[in-house]
Structure 1
Amino acid sequence: MPTVAQATLLITFKLSIFIIATLQLPPALSLTPCRTSCGSIAINYPFGIDDGCGAPQFRSMLNCSTDLFFLTPSGGYKVQHIDYDKKTMTIYDPAMSTCSILQPRHDFIMTEVQSVTIPPTPDTVFALLNCSIDSPVLNHYKNLCFDFSGHSCDELYGACNAFRAFHLLTNSSPPCCFTGYDTVKFMKMNILDCTHYTTVVNTDNLRGIGPLDWVYGIKLSFTVPKTVCEQCSRSGGTCGYDTETEVMTCLCSSSTNYTRECAGGSISAGDRISSHSPWAFFHVAILVVMCLLLVIQ
């Protein structure tokens, strides 16, 4: 017959084994490594194509399938280039009319967050084409229209095969309007009463250059949020955020993360350790051993 002390020791040992087994690290479910590219385009902070990567302000704005797309309420726009030095992103609408193709009109719509965090640049011009004489931008809001770099509506209709169709239908050049993003932000195409639109970038450098050589697309400008991202990167981590609280986090592996930098760097006082950290398991194991020693005594 085992003594009371022996029985107590056996029960405590079995309970300890059970606690350790249930507190072992789960499979790597919490975090996955952040992808750093999509095709030929580098994905750096503040952007991310995996949830929890990058800055929370840009969450769910990018999608990587075979190509990288910028997502808005009006659709997906192919990302052509991201310039991290100039902090610009150039996108292209595959359904947009250009000098060589005429396509049905649709609106370019951004969310309120996108309009603030990554708006079109001032040198992106929206050309509203084949407008009605009753269009508000030709009447009460005609001050919203402007010529850019010395170019005119007649030049656009005359040089482009796609837009020449408007001229042929009326035997004259129908009204058009060169304007900025704020116009199409606050007035949809049906209110503007123009049948088609196109967008041109880098308009400050297009003086003396014909429409056939313009760069069609939309250039967006973004700012990089001020964080401790550099400290995180130096420690070998990737800047991201907690998907529930959207608080900045330094992603260090598939199972651990810290608030400022990865283990091995100098973790500042007050930095939290992930509940899935191996240290949590180690501390529990120490407590179990201490309990066993007390029982034995």
Structure 2
Amino acid sequence: MASQLLQITSTLCNNIIHALFVHVALLLSILIFPGLIKAQSSQCRTSCGDIPIYYPFGIDDGCGSPYYRHILVCSDSGSLELRTPSGRYPVRNVSYSDPHILVSDPFMWNCQDGDNFRPTRPFSLDSSTHFSLSRQNDYLFFNCSEEHVIMEPKPIFCERFPDQCDSTCDSASYLCRHLPECASALRGSSCCSYYPKATDSLRLMLKYCASYASVYWRNVGAIQPDNQVPEYGIRVDFDIPVTTRCLHCQDVAKGGGMCGFDTKTQEFLCLCDKGNVTTYCKDHDVSQEHSNRGVVAGTVSAVSVAGAIGVGAGIWFWKKVRAKAPVTHGVQSNENRLF
């Protein structure tokens, strides 16, 4: 009888130890990974540095529209960058009312270069995205080969060769005669203005020119014709895909969610404080199949890994304690007493 009582007591103690370490392991996993239990919508950052990030963009995977997935990158230093096939470019501003992004190209010519032209590469966009080079850009090319590039004062050339007018690089353009911020930066080098219809034509021009600069016309809100001023940079226009589901999701009366998408299927998701739904946050009748799925890729798996690490650590520690405990065959003594 005493032996059975000791055996039951030992089994009960072992169960208590196991339950204790499992709870400790789960607590550790929460403490080690506190950011993984945040609300779904809070995982979508709404700014990078001082630049606001709204739909259709997102700098966290699963936020915004899948059309612009992995397009904008927020660096560790808090600088927003645009990713294109030709590289990553600093973003100066994003406008949502007049949809466009202003970027700077560190490889293009600037006033400090003067007649010293650095190696450059053409800015390009992925044709499969909803981006396009704005018609408000002007491109200046320097020291072009006259054997391969038609450089003529455009009005005169257009009168003589109207069928080739679009292919000429205007050597008498206003911007060449009044370089923004540094009118006299060029001394012995030629300049002409040409608008490439595609990135291929920009690449072809740079094949025969020493360098280039992009100038966009910024609206300053003054009275015409002084309402625009030229500044160096590249204006990239973008589309804002508008859907009924996204409008319902963003509607404050329906919960004020954020438009996002499933990172695996790229299907629409409304990101809410308590999880993700396929309609809008206050629609309680909709299936909550996405409520526990993380918006950012790897969130759920990271939580699982955290729990597995915690549980594994608890079991390892429990086994270690059991291994060190003296073998008593169910006999309780002062050496293996828990309390």
Partner residue of 1:61 out of 71, 79, 89: 71
Q: Which residue of 2 aligns with 1:224?
A: 240
User: 1:35 Cα shift?
Assistant: 0.1
Q: Which residue of 1 aligns with 2:22?
A: none
Aligned to 1:143, the other structure's residue is in SS state helix
- Say if 1:107 and 1:189, in contact at 8 Å, map to a contact too: no
Q: Which residue of 2 aligns with 1:10?
A: none
The one-letter amino acid of 1:98's match is: N
Residue correspondence of structure 1 range 4-15 to structure 2 within 5 A: none
CA distance in 1, matches of 2:68, 2:98: 17
Q: Which residue of 1 aligns with 2:126?
A: 111
- Say if 2:277 and 2:291, in contact at 8 Å, map to a contact too: no
- Offset from partner CA, 1:51-99 (integer Å, 9 cap, x none): 1111011111101012100111111111111111111111111222123
- Offset from partner CA, 1:229-272 (integer Å, 9 cap, x none): 2221231321111111111111114x72111211xx1357xx44
Aligned to 1:69, the other structure's residue is in SS state strand
CA distance in 2, matches of 1:94, 1:87: 23
- Say if 1:55 and 1:240, in contact at 8 Å, map to a contact too: yes
User: 1:153 Cα shift?
Assistant: 3.7
Aligned to 1:232, the other structure's residue is in SS state helix
User: 1:107 Cα shift?
Assistant: 1.3
Q: Give yes or no for the alignment of 1:197 onto 2:212.
A: yes
- Offset from partner CA, 1:154-174 (integer Å, 9 cap, x none): 5549x54543352xxxxxxx3
CA distance in 2, matches of 1:128, 1:145: 12
Aligned to 1:243, the other structure's residue is in SS state coil
Q: Give yes or no for the alignment of 1:143 onto 2:166.
A: yes
Q: Which residue of 1 aligns with 2:250?
A: 233
CA distance in 2, matches of 1:62, 1:148: 36
Q: Which residue of 2 aligns with 1:125?
A: 138
CA distance in 1, matches of 2:259, 2:95: 19
Residue correspondence of structure 1 range 15-30 to structure 2 within 5 A: 28=37
- Say if 2:92 and 2:102, in contact at 8 Å, map to a contact too: yes
Aligned residues: 236
The one-letter amino acid of 1:215's match is: E
Using a 3 Å threshold, how does the CA distance of structure 1 residues 208 and 252 change in structure 2: closer, same or farther?
A: closer
Query: Greater Rg, structure 1 or structure 2?
Result: 2
User: 1:187 Cα shift?
Assistant: 4.9
Q: Give yes or no for the alignment of 1:79 onto 2:91.
A: yes
- Offset from partner CA, 1:84-133 (integer Å, 9 cap, x none): 1111111111222123335322111211223xx11121111111211001
Aligned to 2:193, the other structure's residue is in SS state strand
The range that moved more, 135-144 or 37-46, is 135-144
Q: Give yes or no for the alignment of 1:266 onto 2:266.
A: no
RMSD: 3.7
Query: Where does the alignment leave 5 or more consecutive residues of structure 2 unmatched?
Result: 1-29, 31-35, 153-162, 294-339
The one-letter amino acid of 2:261's match is: Y
User: 1:145 Cα shift?
Assistant: 3.6
Aligned to 2:67, the other structure's residue is in SS state helix
Using a 3 Å threshold, how does the CA distance of structure 1 residues 195 and 229 change in structure 2: closer, same or farther?
A: same
User: 1:179 Cα shift?
Assistant: 2.2
Aligned to 2:140, the other structure's residue is in SS state strand
The range that moved more, 135-144 or 214-223, is 135-144
TM-score when scaled to structure 2? 0.59
Using a 3 Å threshold, how does the CA distance of structure 1 residues 231 and 192 change in structure 2: closer, same or farther?
A: same
Using a 3 Å threshold, how does the CA distance of structure 1 residues 150 and 187 change in structure 2: closer, same or farther?
A: closer
Aligned to 2:111, the other structure's residue is in SS state coil
Aligned to 2:62, the other structure's residue is in SS state coil
Q: Give yes or no for the alignment of 1:48 onto 2:63.
A: no
Aligned to 1:240, the other structure's residue is in SS state strand
CA distance in 2, matches of 1:216, 1:91: 9
Query: Where does the alignment leave 5 or more consecutive residues of structure 1 unmatched?
Result: 1-25, 167-173, 279-297
